[in-house]
Structure formats: structure tokens, C-alpha cells
Structure 1
Amino acid sequence: MTKRFAWLRRNGPAVFGVALLVGAIYVVQREFRTLSVADIRQAMAAISPLALWKAAGWTVLAYLVLAVYDKLGSLYAGRPVSWPKSFLASFCGYSLAHNLGFAAVSGAAVRYRLYSAWGLTPLEIAKVVGFTSLTFGLGGMALGGLVLVLEPEVVPWLGSHMPRWALQAIAVPLWLIVGTYVVLSRFKQHIRLFGHQLDLPGPRMALMQTVLATVDVAVTAAIFYTLLPEAAGLTFLRFVGIYLAAYAAGIAAHVPGGLGVFDGAILIGLQPYMPAPEVIGALLVFRLYYYIIPLFISGTLFVGFEFGQRRAVLDRVTALGRGSETLEVPAIASLVALAGALLIFLGALPTKGTIIEEWAGHAAALASHFAASVVGSLLLVMAYGLLRRLTIAWGFTLFLLANGAAIAWVRGEAWWLWGAFLLLGVLVASLRAAFYRDSRLAREPLSSEALVPLMAVAACGITLALVAYGGRVSEASWWGVVFSELAPDSLRFTVGLTGVLLLVGMVRLLRPARLQPLPWDAAIRSRLAALGALAPSEADGAILGENERAGFAFLKRDGVWLALGDPGGERRDAISAIWRFRDMCERAGVDAAFWRVGRDYLRVYADIGLHAVPLPPREGEAGSYLALRAERDLESLQPLLPPEMRRGASPSHSRAA
């Protein structure tokens, strides 16, 4: 039972997120069956210039409100920074995290890089990060409770399946949490929450948090609401309820930007008020304003900041100084995932009137339609491989992006659409050096374990191609056939099973070579010592690289496994050992950390989402670092930090009133 609970705790959020994503795909697929690009373009053209300007103004105000989060957070930490720095940290942190959502570029990781350059200690940065994260939650609970009391029926799906009084009752614990936080801040300075110590601000600061976050949620919802046409019965408060429910679903799905899940929930919530084309048109403009444009601006600002840091401190080599390099791959992976989602979107639209239908007939048009959803699905898998720096994923991505451009072209889409696929392909090709890992397909012998998924992928690809080119599917994507009541049951089963096997097979082929953690004994200790790695008398295990020419020892702690020093041995195999350790920790549901590492592998530690904290140099060494997920593991690893960076060791600051 304990093992089952541990498995559920480790994998439950991911399983729940996948379930939400599958449900969202079904909703989007159902809504898009009767749509066309012309319908959506017409709906977007109907948005008035005044509404566009108002939405732009709300967007600017929303990001200014978020800047206040960081300003108050720095005051709470006792190290206030200027308003320009607060805006830069907030804007880069939120816009990059909204769009990318990966560990290396999460809002917390970006803030650690920025604030550490401005002289804040890791503990002070942790306070800023915790303050900003908690602030948003307080606003969501306060405003969500108000919606549940006044307009509970607007919550998508739940509003029509639960009694009104039951939904209103949910507001009580939400408001109770907010009220308890404000009251406790008056009488206590510290509380323990889920094993972590939380330093409470004063009551005035706590009240300001709640009000500020409530305003933030309302202003962000106003961006979307302004872009919608007038609809009878859709008040702003009702829309806020729909928006909050959709946003919460997007967060729960762990998908960057809530892509697909947020959109599906919005479609369900607004279905009683207006047609789907008008919702989708406003949704696309909202994403452009709140996600896409800020992403490019913040990315430019962040890279400019990094270049400035390098010029100012040429001899400082930390994870901070390599921030722009570690940002590149997650950003590219996110764009590849967006390209896959776009192809899936195209695969859900009708094929009538496309160029390929005029040239090659209806059957060929259906084939391109079917291919769009298959290639889009595979691009989502490739984004997973790119994040793990796999060379094979880099090659497959180039091939699939070329296919995506061809599909968009033959369907008669605008030049900028298929041109975007080609441009993304050029960007991916330019980062060849960033993908330095071999998958099990390239590294291991062609064993039965590797041969089975390889044959499955080939068979599935051929099967789906035959189904598409045979003209035996209606105007639906490959999963649309599965849900279609018009298709024969045998065809629905065949296509569904084939599609799932294709994706699972690709994931298995992209997985790194098999993990082989070794037990700690005298033989492995002497082996690591011969490689030049630390070989203490006591350890919990050891990791070797894929070629067994590099390795290191590690200790198991609660929630984090700590590697002891840099890997010793051949550099290329040392990099594979670092990644194998990261993958092993991910499978075990713990975080990876590295103690007393040098400068040689800081880029790799940053690639796996770790932040390097300088440690006091020992006699005769140039300096070392503790590489860790600072936003999560700083408290548990504090004993390894120098005294001035530990909780309570630095001069105390007056409590924020």
C-alpha cells in the first residue's frame, strides 16, 4: 500500500494532466468538426479596433501588476530592489514560465539568475519566489470564492452536474484559507507547511497580497473579455468564473500555457453564450497579446541581460552566466510543441477547397488532412526528446518540420504559416551542438527491447498511411476516427491502437540508454577513485556513464539525491552520467543535486535545470558550487551552504508591516 501511495504521489499529477489533455483534445476535436479557417478569420476580423486597443491596455496593466508582486516580494525578503529591476524579473519570469513551463526556465529559475546577479542571497531569492507564488494563489482563491457564491453555475461542467448549494459551499474553505493566512500574519512570524518553514509577512502586507492578486486575476480576465462580442447573460463576473476554472485546469495539466486544456475549458464554458468561431478568434488574439508577444520581448530582454552580465564580469562562470544558453533548447522545444499543436489544429479543420483537393482529388486531400494530425502528434513527442538533448530527436524534428511545411503548403495555407515551419527548422538546425546525447536506439545494440518498438513504429506508420491514402476515413484527424460514430468499430479500434502504439514506440526509442545505478561496495569505490571521482567510505550508490568510462557516487536524502562532486573520467561519458543521474532521480520522484562541483560542467547542470550556488573555496582549489533546484531544495540542503547563506545566519531584517 505504501508503494502504491508513493507511486500515486509521484505520478498522480502527470496522469491527471494527461487525462485533462485527452479530454481537451476530444472537446477541441468535437468543436472543430464544423469549423473552417474562414469562419475563424471572419470572427477575428469582427473584433473592433477599439476592443484591440483596450485589450492591449489591459495586457500592459496586467504585467505592471505582476511587477508589484516582485517589488513586494523583495521588501518581504528584506532586500528591496528598484522598480526597473522588479519589472524585469517579473516580466521575464512570468512570460517565460507562461509559455515554456520547463524546469530550466521556470519563473523561479529565471528569478534566481536575475536576483543573484543583483546581490541577493539564495535564501532571500527563495523568499521572493515563495512570496510571488503564494500571492497569485491568494487572489485566485479570493476571487474564485466570490464567483462560487454569486454565480456557481458558470463553472464548466460542474455547474450543470452539482447542486448550487454544493458549489457555493466550496467557497467556504477557499475564503477560510485566505482569512487564516491574513490573521496568522498578525500573530505569528513562522509556520510549518508541508514540511517547509514559511515566514509570514505582517498583516498589512498579507492584505496587500490578497488585494493585489485579486486585481491581477480580474485584469487578466478583462483582456479576454474585451475581445469577446457582446452576449446576453455573459456578465464580467460570470466570465471570471469560466476563466478561473479554465486557468486552473491548464495549471493542473502541467502543459505550457495550458495549451489545449485551457482552450477546451473555455470552449465548454462559453458554449451557451456564443458560437465556437467567435470564442476561438478571441482566444487566438488573447494568446497573442498575453503569451506570444511578451514571450519574444522578454526573451530579448533576458538574452540582453545575459550578454551584459558577461561583459561586466568576464571571469565569473556560473549557471547565471550561462542562462541564455540553457534558455535556447527549452524555448526551441516549446516552439516545436506549438508547431505540433498547430498541425493538430489544421488536422481538425475541413479539407474542402484546399489546393491539394483541386490538384489530386478528394482522397489525397483526406490523406494530407490525416497526415497533419499524425505529424503534429509526433512533433509533441520530439519536444520531449529535444528537452533531453537527444541527437536523434534533433534529426527527427527537422524531418517532421519539413513535412509540416509541405502539409501546410499543399493545403493552401498562407505563406507565412508554412514559412514559419521552415524558419523553425532553420533555428533547430543551428543548435546542433546543443543536442549531445545518444538515445538507446543509437547507443545500445539492436536487442529485442529496442527492436520491438522500432518495428512497432514502422508498422504503425505504414498502417496509418494506408488508412489515410485509402480514402477510408472521413474528414477527421487520426483520433477523430476513433471518436467518430460513423466509422466502423474495427477501423476505430485499429486506428486508435495504431496511433497510441506509434507514440509510445517513439517515446521508447527516444529514451536514453538503460539506467544502471550500482550498489556501493569496495569494487565500485576503487573504480571511481581510478577515474578521479570522489570515493568516500560511505555512499548510497554510484552512477556510471553509458560507456562506463566516467562516474560518481551519490547520497540519498529525503526528496533529493545528492551527487558527490563532478563525474570523474572521460568528458563525453561524464555528461551522459550526469543525465543518467537526472533521469534516475526523475523516475524515483526526487530532485537531483550536485555537491562541490567545479566549473567544467556548469553548463550541463544548468541544462538539467539546476542553479549553481558558490561555496567557500577550500585550500588549494579554485572554488566550487552546489548545483541544485534552488526553488525547491534550498531549505533541505542549507547545511551544505556557507554560514552567511543559511536561514537565520544573516543579519535579521525588520518584519514587513
Structure 2
Amino acid sequence: MIAFLKRYGATIFGVVLLAGAIYVVQREFRGLSVAQVHDAMAAISRHALWLAAGCTLLAYAVLAIYDRLGSLYAGKPASWARSLMASFCGYSLAHNLGFAAVSGAAVRFRFYSAWGYSAVQIAKVIGFTSLTFGLGGMALAGLVLVVEPEVVPWLGSNLPRWALQGLAVPLWGIVAAYVVLSRFFRTITVFRHEIELPGLKMALAQTVLATVDVAVTAAIFYILLPPAEGLTFVRFVGIYLVAYSLGIFASVPGGLGVFDSAILIGLSPYMGAAEVIGALLVFRLYYYIVPLFIAGALFAGFELSQRGAVLARFTAVTQGSEALEAPAMAGLVAISGALLIFIGALPASGGLMTIWGSYSLAAASQFAASVLGSALLVLAYGLARRLAIGWALAVALLLLGGLTVWLRGEAWFAWLPFPAVATLLLTMRPRFYRRSRLWAEPLSPEALVPLAAAAFCGITLALVGHRVEVQDSSWWEVVFADEAPNALRFTVGLTAVLLLVGLARLLRPARIRPLAYDEASRAMLASWQGTTPPAADGVLLGEARRAGMAFSRQPPLWLAYGDPSGDPADGVSAIWRFRDACERAGVRPAFWDVGPEWLRIYADIGLTAVPMPGRPERFIACRAEQDLDRLLAKA
């Protein structure tokens, strides 16, 4: 049980949070319309917009100081320009996308590697920046509990004020312990890991800086809200910290849905949902979306500027921009799915009812929006793994989503993003090169059943959506609606779940069954001119079983030896299957002694390629910020 929770606990918790977020959105959006949200956004004053924009610039400037202090801690100070570049790109991409290939750590490793930092120095910078935010969050949360303890949900009305204020003691205690230990010790051991402490002045600077960062980021949102009686800035900071923390725990890019629903709940006593959502959308535009596009352009430009150095040092020039595109599109598709779910929770505007002369068609579009949005959230998972079937289905459902919103009679700015994202996705077909189990295996009953189930359930839900009992409803609302007939509730719930499960199964890779590393498998690799180490734990083949490589289990790593040998067309699937096998086993993948031909694929699965000692034409592909030092020690 403990092993199960260790491997899947975070995922289960994230799914539960996301399901709760969908329920909250459904409840809060029921009495709203797109026009009301638009009016709430229009009501934000120009002064507030400019002030929030200034706070956004200040927030990212403070984050740049994180990297500056981190480089000092690592013993190799970076210039302010480099600190700003690494910090801005790392945080912008990590906040929005959340995928390993473009996480803040991986992005920082690419920057600092090109600037001549060693793996140990980069690890120190990354560790320092990660810890700094936590210190600020705990320090500021303690302050909120002392000043405005009633902000704690559920407990505020059930415990005396002094007990709530006492909750600040452990938070401040952790921060104080870190500062004190930094004063008297250079290193400490935590869970068998030795941590080098930064010293008293640096620890104090970390705490103060992170506290300012969290406060300024919360101020962006607070400024965009209309004045509300009883909503002080300190109280809002408490609500913001809870919402942001839940978004992080859910492991959803940008805390999508989870952060938003927590904010809606926290602010519901002070103002209407339309005002909160209007400010929320502008906040996401300022702090997430605009920085994402700027950072993506800067990162791609950096990779191009490093053409010669990158080829000579650690990766191919196309890694940066191309490795970013698929995760970015997966993030956009997930956002589109969430947007459809939100729109599905709103009553239909009815603008096209008179044109079509059919209330049923327009009202059922609300039901369809929630179904399509749920399916797009599943398909984003397939896009992140470069699946061609995920690309095709996502394009189709995005176009259907745009048509659905248009049929509801919404304004152009509500339906236009869906065909726009679909068009952008169409231009990136080569980025989604991986076959799913639907194409990789014979059309056996195991593959045919989920395909038939998904098709049948999709058609069934489309037909059910026209029934009077579910018009103007979301599919999950029908399941829990007491006034709907029991047979209809059962049909909608079962078919919707089967549709999503069927889609998920279609997006799964073919079964991963490594071969034993024996004489037969060794001879097979040798016939393909592959690497045959003296000892290994198995051989992992591609989906067509015409390419593969030997590997050994070295927890927390599985280490593959060399590039995939055999049929190059099947080598891509061998790399991805190795990555999937590692994910199922709860370990990280790494590749030893690989050439430049496959570097793009290694980047796609979230690895960074670093030259082998004394052999600059050969590489080690791994999560460099975590594992490079360990692998180099074995060289």
C-alpha cells in the first residue's frame, strides 16, 4: 500500500483536486454568461491595469534575483542579464507548461551549461531557487495566520483565534531553523542527502526576497479585483497562498482549474463570480500567457544564437524550439478543454436559436461543450507524448468545440480561439510522430474494444444531448440531477466515463515487456550492430520489435546503453517505450554513450545531452540537473 501511494498518490490527489475544481466551476458558473464576464473585465480601470502590469514586471525582476543569489551560492556569479534571462524563461515555461521537457530545471540547465557552469554548480542554482519560494510562502503564511487567522477555511469559525494563530508557529519555526542552521553549520544531512547551507546573510536574503515575491505576485491579482468590504490585502494573500499551493499539488500546468476554483471559493463571500473570473483572466494573461510567449521566443532565439556552441557542447540546435512546441501545444489544448468545460457551465446565449429555429440544437450545445472539453483534457496527455492519433483527434475536437460555442450564440472572442489553436496544431504535424497502440498493434479485441467503445459512447452522448432532460446541462450535472430519470442519469454517466477511458486507452502505448539479457537477445543486438555490454538487466524493443537497446536497473535510474540499434523507423518508439517503462517503475531514464542523430528525441522525452568526458562527439542523455553528477562519477 505504501509503495502504491508513493508511486500513484500524487497523481490520485491531483485527479481528485481537478474533479473538485470541475464541480466548483459547474456550480459557480451556472448563473453567469460570457457577457457578464466580459463586462466585469471591461470594468477594470486603466489605472488598475497599468499598476498590475507594473507589479508583474516587478515580480519577474524579483525572480531574477533568485537566480543571481543562486549563482553566488554556487560559487560562480552570473551577470544580471544572464540571471534575468534564465529566471524569466525558466519560471515562465514551468508555470505554464509543467512538462519535464521544458521544466524550469531543464531550461536552466541549458542556459547555464552554455555559460560554462558545471553540473554541480547548476544543481546548486536550481536547488537554491526551488527552496527560496518555499521559505517565502511559509513566512508569509505565518504572517497571515497571525494577522488574519479567520482566513483559514473550515477552521476559522470552529477554533478560537489564539489556536489559529498558533498554526503560524511551525511555519515560522521551519524558516527560523533554516536561518539558524545556516549560521552555525555549513552542511546538514536530510533523508540521507547532504545539503550545503548558504550562510546566515544568504539565508536571510532568501527569506526576505521570497516573501516580497509572493506578496507582489498576489498584489497583481488583488489590484485587478473591485473593492470589497472586509477583503484586506493580508486576507487575500492567505486565499492566494492556499489556491496556489493546491495548484502545485495538483501537478496541473499553471494550476489550471484547481487554482481558479480555490480562488472562486475563497472570494465568494466578498464578491460575485463574474468579478472574480474577470480579474482571474487578466491575471493569467499578465502573469502566465504573455510571459510564456515572450519566454518561448527568447528561448528559441537563444538556442539559435548558440548554434556552434550547442553542437559542440551538449545538444542539437533544434532541441530548444522543437522540444518546446509539443508540450506548449499540449498546454494550449488542455486550456482549450478547460475553457470548453467552463463555457459548458454557462447558460446558452441563444443568439442562433432564432436562425436555426431549434431550441434543442442550441441548448444541447451546452451539454456537448462539457463532453468535448473533458475529451480534450485527455487528449492533451497524448499530445505531450507526441502521439499522432492525439494530434488528429485534438484537431477534430477543437474544430467541433469552436462550432459548439458558435452554435451557442457566443461572441467571436469566445469561439475563435478553438479554430485558431486547431490551425496552429495543424502546422506542427511532424512534431507528433509517435504511434499509439491503435496503430502499433494488430487490430486485436484488446485494441478494438476501446476504439468501438469510444465511437459508440461519443455518438450516444451526441444523441442524448438533444433530450429535453439534459438540454442546458453539463454531462456530470445530469448524473447528479435528482429530477432527471434514473435510466438517463445512468446512461449519461456510464457512456461519458467509457468515452474518456476509451480515449485514454487508445492513447496508451503498446505493451512494454523487456526481454531478458541472454545469449539470444545479445546476438540480436549484435546483428543490428548495437551496444552489447558485458552485463545488463534486459533489452527493450520498439513497438515493431525491429530496434532496441540493452539497459540496466540502477535506482533511481534505468540506464540504456547506446542509441537504439536496428530499424531507425522503430528506434523512436524504442526510446519512448523506455521512457514509459521508467515512468511506470517510478525511476528516471538515462542513456549512456549516444550519438548526435537522436538528440532531438532525447530532448522530447525531457532529457539533456551532455558530452562524455574525453569524447565530445558522444553524449550522456539524462535529467542532467539531477543525475549527471552521479553518471559522471561512474565514467
Question: TM-score scaled by structure 2?
Answer: 0.97
SS in 1 for 2:434: coil
Distance in 2 of aligned mates of 1:260 and 1:379: 14
Between stretches 316-325 and 385-394, larger displacement belongs to 316-325
Distance 1:118 1:577, change over 3 A: same
For residues 312-344 of structure 1, the C-alpha deviation after alignment (integer angstroms, 9 at most, x for no partner) is 666666156621110111111111111111111
- Identity percentage of aligned residues: 66
Between stretches 566-575 and 127-136, larger displacement belongs to 566-575
Structure 2 counterpart of 1:32: 29
1:494-573 pair list within 5 angstroms: 494-573=491-570
Structure 1 counterpart of 2:419: 422
Distance in 1 of aligned mates of 2:210 and 2:448: 53
Structure 1 counterpart of 2:611: 614
Structure 2 counterpart of 1:219: 216
Asked whether the 8 Å contact 1:319–1:611 carries over to 2, the reply is no
Distance 1:311 1:427, change over 3 A: farther
Distance in 1 of aligned mates of 2:108 and 2:76: 14
Structure 1 counterpart of 2:344: 347
Asked whether the 8 Å contact 1:340–1:376 carries over to 2, the reply is yes
Distance in 2 of aligned mates of 1:77 and 1:195: 21
Distance in 2 of aligned mates of 1:329 and 1:556: 29
Q: 2:146 aligns with which of 140, 146, 149?
A: 149
Structure 2 counterpart of 1:67: 64
SS in 1 for 2:400: helix
Structure 2 counterpart of 1:467: 464
- Write the letter of the residue equivalent to 1:242: I
Distance in 2 of aligned mates of 1:11 and 1:580: 19
Between stretches 407-416 and 213-222, larger displacement belongs to 407-416
SS in 1 for 2:553: strand
Distance 1:296 1:450, change over 3 A: same
1:384-533 pair list within 5 angstroms: 384-533=381-530
- Write the letter of the residue equivalent to 1:373: S
Distance 1:161 1:551, change over 3 A: farther
Report deviation, 1:357: 5.7
Between stretches 436-445 and 126-135, larger displacement belongs to 436-445
- Write the letter of the residue equivalent to 1:337: A
* Divergent runs of 4+, >6 A: none
Q: 1:256 aligns with which of 253, 256, 267?
A: 253
Report deviation, 1:490: 3.2
Asked whether the 8 Å contact 1:70–1:86 carries over to 2, the reply is yes
Asked whether the 8 Å contact 1:357–1:364 carries over to 2, the reply is no
1:20 pairs with 2:14:
no
Structure 1 counterpart of 2:119: 122
Report deviation, 1:183: 0.9
Asked whether the 8 Å contact 1:245–1:265 carries over to 2, the reply is yes
Q: 2:81 aligns with which of 81, 84, 107?
A: 84
1:589 pairs with 2:593:
no
Report deviation, 1:489: 3.4
Structure 2 counterpart of 1:194: 191
1:311-330 pair list within 5 angstroms: 318=315, 322-330=319-327
Q: 1:624 aligns with which of 609, 618, 628?
A: 618
Distance in 1 of aligned mates of 2:313 and 2:209: 37
Report deviation, 1:410: 2.1
Structure 2 runs not aligned, ≥5 long: none
- Write the letter of the residue equivalent to 1:323: G
Distance in 1 of aligned mates of 2:601 and 2:433: 10
Distance 1:363 1:95, change over 3 A: same
Asked whether the 8 Å contact 1:317–1:599 carries over to 2, the reply is no
For residues 152-171 of structure 1, the C-alpha deviation after alignment (integer angstroms, 9 at most, x for no partner) is 22133454566655543432
Report deviation, 1:632: 2.8
- Write the letter of the residue equivalent to 1:518: L
Structure 2 counterpart of 1:207: 204
Distance in 1 of aligned mates of 2:157 and 2:537: 53
Distance 1:160 1:100, change over 3 A: farther
Asked whether the 8 Å contact 2:440–2:544 carries over to 1, the reply is no
Structure 2 counterpart of 1:651: none
- Write the letter of the residue equivalent to 1:629: R
Asked whether the 8 Å contact 1:156–1:268 carries over to 2, the reply is no
Structure 1 runs not aligned, ≥5 long: 642-657
Distance in 2 of aligned mates of 1:65 and 1:435: 37
For residues 7-56 of structure 1, the C-alpha deviation after alignment (integer angstroms, 9 at most, x for no partner) is 11011000000000101110110001111112212211221111111111
1:639 pairs with 2:606:
no
Q: 1:338 aligns with which of 335, 360, 363?
A: 335
1:273 pairs with 2:270:
yes
Distance in 1 of aligned mates of 2:360 and 2:156: 43
- Write the letter of the residue equivalent to 1:424: V
For residues 185-229 of structure 1, the C-alpha deviation after alignment (integer angstroms, 9 at most, x for no partner) is 112212222333221101100000000000000000001111111
Report deviation, 1:408: 2.4
Structure 1 counterpart of 2:360: 363
Distance 1:478 1:180, change over 3 A: same
Distance in 2 of aligned mates of 1:94 and 1:468: 42
SS in 2 for 1:469: coil
Asked whether the 8 Å contact 1:62–1:219 carries over to 2, the reply is yes
Distance 1:639 1:461, change over 3 A: same
Distance in 2 of aligned mates of 1:472 and 1:357: 21
CA RMSD for the aligned pairs? 1.8
Distance in 1 of aligned mates of 2:540 and 2:112: 33
Report deviation, 1:88: 0.8
Report deviation, 1:614: 1.2
- Write the letter of the residue equivalent to 1:631: E
Distance 1:612 1:12, change over 3 A: same
Report deviation, 1:409: 2.2
Distance 1:157 1:360, change over 3 A: farther
Q: 2:376 aligns with which of 369, 376, 379?
A: 379
Distance in 2 of aligned mates of 1:161 and 1:589: 41
Report deviation, 1:173: 1.9
Asked whether the 8 Å contact 1:593–1:626 carries over to 2, the reply is yes
For residues 68-109 of structure 1, the C-alpha deviation after alignment (integer angstroms, 9 at most, x for no partner) is 001101111111111111111111111111111110011111
Structure 1 counterpart of 2:171: 174
Distance 1:357 1:220, change over 3 A: farther
Q: 1:599 aligns with which of 596, 617, 621?
A: 596
Distance in 1 of aligned mates of 2:388 and 2:266: 42
Distance 1:8 1:80, change over 3 A: same
SS in 2 for 1:300: helix
For residues 622-652 of structure 1, the C-alpha deviation after alignment (integer angstroms, 9 at most, x for no partner) is 62211111233345434135xxxxxxxxxxx
- Write the letter of the residue equivalent to 1:450: A
Q: 2:292 aligns with which of 291, 295, 316?
A: 295
Report deviation, 1:455: 1.9
Distance in 1 of aligned mates of 2:343 and 2:354: 15
SS in 2 for 1:472: helix
- Write the letter of the residue equivalent to 2:415: W
Distance in 1 of aligned mates of 2:584 and 2:306: 36
Between stretches 132-141 and 344-353, larger displacement belongs to 344-353
Report deviation, 1:523: 1.5
